[in-house]
Amino acid sequence: MRFITSLLALLLSALAQATPLTVELRDAAGAPLAGAVVALEQAGLARRAKAGTQAELAQRERQFVPRLLVVQTGTAVAFPNQDKVRHHVYSYSVAKPFELKLYLGQPAAPVLFEQPGVVSLGCNIHDRMSAHIVVVDTPRFAISDAQGRVQLERQPGAGQLRAWHPSLGDEQLRSQPLGADATQTWVLR
């Protein structure tokens, strides 16, 4: 019982040390960058999602919904087709190449995303369908709002911020060291 009490006290102490972090993203012209992924990596944070963690990226009205999904490494993503037409979902991305050939409804199994990176998706039948899944090695991530801001919790100590936006034109997350300030501005190029 003492072990459990000590473990609980240690966990509560660690959570109490977490402080808010605001990251403000800007484009090269200085305008707020909405729809950017930001992830915070720090020592002590789990790199992989808990076993059984799932997410969903649907096809509805011949579009992927959502068009941008962020998941932690080790997450299984389901691709339900809610349309009355068949879709053929694919990715040729280095982080996770795969194909879900023509199907209606729910594919047999979700796709497991086991390594970090940006996964660009398309449909072989409907060329205008596109989406991205950004896979990160941390449970602390968010997508920037209309003002280009994200709010995350940070632990004391060093860390790394990673970010990506579709306008960057590639599948590489950008990195910068975590600064000491509670609000950090990042021009993403």
Q: How many CA atoms lie within 13 A of 114 on its CB side?
A: 5
Q: What is the mean pLDDT of residues 118-124?
A: 96
pLDDT(144) > 50: yes
Residue 169: its pLDDT value, please?
87
Alpha carbon 14 to chain centroid, angstroms? 24
Q: What is the mean pLDDT of residues 84-111?
A: 94
Taken in order of first residue, the domains within the chain and their CATH numbers are 19-187 (2.60.40.420)
Residue 108: its pLDDT value, please?
79
